[in-house]
Structure 1
Amino acid sequence: MRLHRTTLGVLLAVAFVAGIVVAPAAHHLVGEAHAQAPAAAAPLQPMMIDLVALKHGDIPGTPNPEMNSKGLVTTDNATIAIQSGNVAKHNHPKTDEIQYIIEGSGAMWLGNERKEFKPGTLIIIPKGTAHGGTLVTSGPVKAIAIKIPPQPANDTVFMN
């Protein structure tokens, strides 16, 4: 049953992003140009990725020794990455984020509240919302992270 919930969650996240990818006109409706966004992305290629099989050690490290991350999909309108580990409490002033928890459980900051999560949890993080600082009860925590629009390099503000 657990595999089915994970598969359903992954499909939900992918379907959400697919809606963004196939509707580039929506980007023009927003009105604000994102000058710091990455250059045009390569066209999407058909692929299948077994996210459940990816373990923490299989995902490349980041400058944060507690967080591993690997980009999976990049479009002009959004990115999808697989993340494993923890990051201090922070926000993204220019980027909305959606996370889907694949494995691991615990509690994290979401706004001014500490919220519990488990596999199958979908976390909606509007731009400017504090999040992170995870207390892991089972892990490591592995999640799909969707950033809309693609996150500029200077779009992470760490908090106390």
Structure 2
Amino acid sequence: MKAIGIALLIVGFNLKACAETNNLPQWFLQSFSSLKLEKQYKVIQPCKPAFLEADFNGDKQNDIAVQIIDLKSKKRGLLIINGGQNNYFIFGCGKKFADETFSDTNWLNGWRVFKSRYAYKPTFNTDGDITGSKRVNLKFPAISIYSREDGDEIAGQYIYWNNNKYISTHQGE
């Protein structure tokens, strides 16, 4: 009887994971499969929403961002697949973010589509201390990933398209 209960519990978790993955648009699932990304990565959903959808690169088609984990290194990251294209971009999962020293988003516990037309990129001195900020104009929605403490966003990254590629900029402490 105990074995049946455990089996049902496992099936229930698997069905829940499948249901959440099935909420992803069909084109995304087809791209993920045709790019053979499932051989190296698994889509995970550690925080809500399960995925982000917006026209991140300005081509008039919605793109999808999901959180993933590298199956070998177990490092976490983000995957963006551009809608209408079979282009994908990975941040983390053992690959360094542009201009950053980290390669794992295991600290991430919140994310959202950032729709403001500008953000502020911190400027640093040679010791790594923040000395000010520089305004960055955003032509398209960005992805805001962040760490929370006591319900407040304390640090994170904006990932945005600069007309040529996705780049990221540090935010917060």
Taking structure 1 as the reference length, the TM-score comes to 0.31
Which structure has the higher relative contact order (CA within 8 Å, separation 6+)? 1
Taking structure 2 as the reference length, the TM-score comes to 0.29
Task: Name which one, 1 or 2, has greater alpha-carbon Rg.
Answer: 2
